[in-house]
Structure 1
Amino acid sequence: MASFCLFLFLLLLLLLAAHGAAPVLGFTRSDFPPEFVFGAATSAYQYEGAVAEDGRSPSVWDTFTHAGKIADKSTGDIASDGYHKYKDDVKLMAETNLEAYRFSISWSRLIPNGRGAVNPKGLEYYNNLIDELVKHGIQIHVMLYHLDFPQVLDDEYGGWLSHRIVEDFTEFADVCFREFGDRVSYWTTIDEPNVGPIGSYDSGIFAPGRCSEPFGVTKCTAGNSTVEPYIAAHNMILAHASATRLYRERYQAVQKGVVGINVYSFWTYPLTNSTADIAATKRYQDFMFGWTLEPLVFGDYPQVMKTNVGSRLPSFTKSQSEFVKGAIDFIGINHYYSVYVNDRPLKEGIRDYAADMSVYQRGARTDPATSEYLPSVYPDDPEGLQFVLQYLTESYGGLPIYVQENGKASSNDILDDTDRVEYLKSYIGGTLTALRNGANVKGYFAWNFLDIFEFLGGYQSGYGLHRVDFNDKARPREARLSARWYSGFLKNNDIFVQSKIDDKGLVARQ
C-alpha cells in the first residue's frame, strides 16, 4: 500500500542512512526489555538427519538432494544428527544461556502420508525435544513448515501448486497445536513464503526444483516460472490463514499462544535520489514484504503487483479476502543483508517474478547491476535491519516482530570467528536502535545454533555458533568464539558489546 505517509517514512530513513546513522554500539542485555527474548534457530531437514528412521517418509528435499542438486552433492541424510543428539544439544543451549530456541517440525516425520495417521515415533521425538527445552527453561518457538513438505503430496497433486494443500496443511497444524500446544506458545506457520516459491518454482534452486526457460538457474524438467511461484505463494497465504483461524477458534483461549508468519527481508536503498529509483525501491518492498503481508493485514495484494503481474497473479474472492485479512499475530523475519535498487523498465514478453518487479539490484553501489533475486555480494549493513524493523512497524499496523534468523557464514574449519562476533554485535545493536525508535520488535534469533545442512551450499560453509565436524560420524560439537561471546552477553548484564574479546570468548567491561 503505497501511501504518501509511507513514502515520507521511506525518505526519512534514506536521509538517516545518507547521514551515517548507526546502530547503538555500547549496550548490555539489560538495555533490552525483560520480555525481549534472545535465542537461536535450526530447521528439521537441515538439523535432524535420520531421514529413513522410525517411520519418516521422504520429503521433497530428500528427493532433490539425492538427485545431486546441491553444489557439493551432499544430502541431509545425517545432517547434524539432531534426531539422536537433541538431549545433548538442549543441554548445550542451556550452557550457552539461550533464552529461546526456534526449530521446525518435519511434516514427513509427524504425518508420513501427508494426511491421516500420526507417526508415533515422530510424535515421541518432538514431545521429548519439547520436554527437554521446558526442563531447561528455554522458551519454545515452533516453525510448522520450513520448506520440507512430504514427497507424497508433491507426487499426488503438486504440493503447493494445488489448493488441496491448504486442507492438508491445516490438518498438520491441527496435530501440532493439539499435541504440543500445552507447552508451545509461539507458532510460525510458514518459512519465507516470499522466497521459497521463487527458489522452488521459478529459479529451481530449491526443492522440488521446478522452473522453465529462460529463468531456471539449473536445467529443470518441469515447471512454469512465470506463474507457479505466484500460485504457490497464494496457497501458502491461504494455508497460513486457515491454520491461524483454526488455532484461534479451537486452541487460543486455553493455550494463550500466538500465530505468525515469516518473511525473508532485505533492506533496500535507492541507487540514486532520482524519482524513478525511489519508486523502484518502494516497488521492491511491495513485492518482497507486501506480497505476503498486505493480504494478511489488509486483505489483498499490493496494487503494483496486480498491475505488473496481471492475470498471472491469483486473486482473492471477497470471502477469501475477509478470511485472510487480520489472520496474523506477529511477523517473523529472516534478515542478512541489504541491496541497492534502481529502476528497470518493465520488460515486454514473458516475465518471472524478478522481471515483474522491474528493478536492478546490487549488494554494493559499485557492483554491476543484476535483475536476479540474489546479489552475489552483500556487505554487512546493520542499519538495514534497523530500517526493516522500523518500516514493518510503520507499514503493518505495529504488529510484533521477531528477528527469526540473522547470521553470517564461515568455512566449517573456523573456530575463531571474529567476523561473526562483530556481525552479531552490530546487528543486535541495530535491533536495539530500532526498538528505541519505536519498532515493535520482541525477539532476536541467531541463525543458527550449530552447523547444519545448508539449502544452498550443503556443508561447504555454515552459520553455526557451534561447529559440527561433518567428517566425523559422531558429529561432535565445538563452541566457536561466537558461541562463547553470545553466552557471555546473555549471562552478564555488565558486558559491553563494543568491548574487546578476551581469549575465553567473553569481553571485559570498559
Structure 2
Amino acid sequence: MCKEDVQLMADIGLDAYRFSISWPRLIPNGRGPVNPKGLLYYNNLINELLSHGIQPHVTLVNLDHPQALEDEYGGWISRKMVDDFVLYADVCFREFGDRVKYWTTVNEPNVMGSGGYGMGIAPPARCSPPFGLVNCTRGNSSTEPYIAVHHILLAHASVVKLYRTKYRDKQHGFVGITIYVYWSIPSSHSKEDITATQRANDFLIGWILDPLVFGDYPATMKKNAGSRIPSFTKLESELVKGSFDFVGIEHYMIAYVKDSPSSLMTEQRDYYADQAVSLLLPDPLWGFELSVNPWALEGVLEYIKQVYGNPPVFVYENGQRMRLNSSVEDTPRVEYLQAYIGSVLNALRNGSNTRGYVTWSFLDVFELFGGYESTYGLCYVDFDDPDLKRYPKLSAHWYSRFLKGKTVDRKEVTIEFEESSSALSS
C-alpha cells in the first residue's frame, strides 16, 4: 500500500479503509523487540489515510501469527498464546491507538478454527486423517479446532479488557471481532432440516457469538462435541461475556442445509461431523462469479439482530468474485454491489444496528482461495507491469458515484467510465 493507493481511495470517495497489521512484521519473534521498519510502515499508512479523511479500521490477526510462537508452543493450541497476544495488542494500542478508533482482534476465528486446524486449508495448516483436505504433517482435527477457538476467545476477551481498562478513556475507540457467515437455508420444509439449519448456525455463528453474548457455547455444540470442546470456568465466562463493542460480518454466499444424523454415529468425529448436517454450497470456495442473493445478507443481519440483541454490526467483507483478466468492465460486480448495498438498506429499515459496509476489495490481491486467478477488486492491478499499475474498474466508478451521493444510473456511470478509460490509455 502506497501514497498513490491512498490517493486513489480518496478519489473514489472512500471514508474508511480496513486492513490488518501483521504481527510477524511488527514483532517478528512474537514478543520482545518491535521492528522499527514495521512500526514506521503502519504509522505512515495510518497518517496517510487520516490526511485524506479516511478512517482506518484495523485487524490485529488475520490468519497469520509469528512462526516463532508456532514453533515454540503450537500457537493457538496453547494457552500461552493468550498472554502473548495481549502483549502484542498492547503495543498496537500504545503505538497506533491515538489515531485508530476501530479495532478487530481476530478475523474469522470460525474459519481459523475449522480451516486452519480441521481441514488444514488455511494457516497454520494443521489437521489429521481422515479429516484434512490436505496432507497435514501435524495436528488433530477432532480436538484442535475447538481448542484453538477457545484460546482465541479468551485472548480476544483479555485484549478487550486491556483496552477498556488502560486505553478507552484516552483513545475513545471500539474493539470487536469479525466472523465469516454464509446464510443457511433448510433443504426442505421438514422439521429435521429446519432443526439442522439452526444447528448449522450454532456451529458457524454461535461458536463465536454465543460466548460473547451469553457467556458459553451453544448447547448443541457442547452436546455433540462433548469433552472435545473446552469448558469456560466461571471467571472465564464472565471475562468473555460482553467483551465486544461491535461484530464484524463477512458474507458472500448461501448454503442449503440437510439433516445428517448418521455423522454422529461414528466414534471419531471432527467439527464438521459434529454438526450432523450436509451442506450444499451453490458457490464453492474455489471458482468465479458468485450467485447474487442479496436477501441472504439481509437474513444474516436480521438473525444477529433477533438472536444476539441487535449489537452494532459492520459488514466488513462482501463482494463479487470474477476471473482475473485485463478487462476493467466488471458489470457483474456493479450488479452485485447494487443488490447487496440495497439489502443493507432494507436491514437498516427493519431496525438492524448496522454501522457500516466495506466491500471486498479495493484492489485485486492474492486470495486465500483462488490465488491470483480470481479477484474481487474495484481496481485492476496489472501484475505483468513491474510497477503493478492500478486501473479503476467500472465498479470503482459506480461505487464512487454512490459514495458521493451522485446518480448511479448505469448509462451515466458507463459514459464516465469510458471517458476515464480513454484518458488513461491515451
Alpha-carbon distance in structure 2 between the residues aligned to 1:387 and 1:337: 12
1:446 aligns with 2:359: yes
Q: In structure 2, what is the equivalent of residue 10 of structure 1?
A: none
Change (3 A) 1:497 1:189: farther
Change (3 A) 1:362 1:94: same
Task: Give the C-alpha shift of residue 496 in structure 1.
Answer: 4.4
Change (3 A) 1:376 1:228: farther
Q: In structure 2, what is the equivalent of residue 362 of structure 1?
A: 280
Q: In structure 2, what is the equivalent of residue 502 of structure 1?
A: 414
Change (3 A) 1:145 1:91: same
User: Could you tell me whether the CA contact under 8 Å between 2:257 and 2:277 is conserved in 1?
Assistant: yes
1:309 aligns with 2:221: no
Superimposed CA distance per residue, residues 157-197 of structure 1 (whole angstroms, 9 cap, x where no aligned partner) = 10111011101111111111111111111011100001112
Task: Give the C-alpha shift of residue 501 in structure 1.
Answer: 4.1
User: Could you tell me whether the CA contact under 8 Å between 1:361 and 1:375 is conserved in 2?
Assistant: no
Code of the aligned partner of 1:138: I
Q: In structure 2, what is the equivalent of residue 141 of structure 1?
A: 57
Seq. identity, %: 56
Q: In structure 1, what is the equivalent of residue 370 of structure 2?
A: 457
Change (3 A) 1:321 1:499: farther
Alpha-carbon distance in structure 1 between the residues aligned to 2:223 and 2:415: 57
Correspondent of 1:418 among 331, 336, 342: 331
Code of the aligned partner of 1:352: D
Correspondent of 1:154 among 63, 70, 74: 70
Superimposed CA distance per residue, residues 82-109 of structure 1 (whole angstroms, 9 cap, x where no aligned partner) = 3xxx211111100110010000001011
Alpha-carbon distance in structure 2 between the residues aligned to 1:234 and 1:498: 47
Q: Which runs of no fewer than 5 residues in structure 1 stay unpaired?
A: 1-81, 368-372
Task: Give the C-alpha shift of residue 472 in structure 1.
Answer: 2.2
Note the 1:257-406 alignment, pairs <5 A.
257-345=173-261, 346-364=264-282, 379-406=291-318
The structure with the greater share of residues assigned to helix is: 2
Correspondent of 1:177 among 93, 97, 117: 93
Code of the aligned partner of 2:345: L
Q: Which runs of no fewer than 5 residues in structure 2 stay unpaired?
A: 419-426
Task: Give the C-alpha shift of residue 500 in structure 1.
Answer: 7.0
Code of the aligned partner of 2:144: E
Superimposed CA distance per residue, residues 261-318 of structure 1 (whole angstroms, 9 cap, x where no aligned partner) = 0000011111111111110111111111100011111110000000000000011111
SS of corresponding position for 2:315: strand
User: Could you tell me whether the CA contact under 8 Å between 1:204 and 1:216 is conserved in 2?
Assistant: yes
Task: Give the C-alpha shift of residue 214 in structure 1.
Answer: 1.0
Change (3 A) 1:359 1:110: same
Greater RCO, CA 8 A, separation 6+: 1
User: Could you tell me whether the CA contact under 8 Å between 1:331 and 1:400 is conserved in 2?
Assistant: yes
SS of corresponding position for 2:255: strand
Note the 1:112-131 alignment, pairs <5 A.
112-131=28-47
Task: Give the C-alpha shift of residue 236 in structure 1.
Answer: 0.5
Correspondent of 1:254 among 166, 170, 173: 170
Alpha-carbon distance in structure 2 between the residues aligned to 1:328 and 1:499: 43
Alpha-carbon distance in structure 2 between the residues aligned to 1:95 and 1:146: 27
Alpha-carbon distance in structure 2 between the residues aligned to 1:176 and 1:396: 29
1:232 aligns with 2:148: yes
User: Could you tell me whether the CA contact under 8 Å between 1:489 and 1:497 is conserved in 2?
Assistant: no
Task: Give the C-alpha shift of residue 139 in structure 1.
Answer: 1.1
SS of corresponding position for 1:102: strand
Change (3 A) 1:332 1:221: same
Correspondent of 2:349 among 425, 432, 436: 436
Task: Give the C-alpha shift of residue 363 in structure 1.
Answer: 2.9
Alpha-carbon distance in structure 2 between the residues aligned to 1:348 and 1:499: 58
User: Could you tell me whether the CA contact under 8 Å between 1:341 and 1:359 is conserved in 2?
Assistant: yes
Correspondent of 2:79 among 159, 163, 177: 163
Code of the aligned partner of 2:197: T
User: Could you tell me whether the CA contact under 8 Å between 2:255 and 2:280 is conserved in 1?
Assistant: yes
SS of corresponding position for 1:194: helix
Alpha-carbon distance in structure 2 between the residues aligned to 1:279 and 1:498: 43
User: Could you tell me whether the CA contact under 8 Å between 1:363 and 1:376 is conserved in 2?
Assistant: no
User: Could you tell me whether the CA contact under 8 Å between 1:347 and 1:355 is conserved in 2?
Assistant: no
Task: Give the C-alpha shift of residue 498 in structure 1.
Answer: 7.2
What is the TM-score with the length of structure 2 in the denominator?
0.94
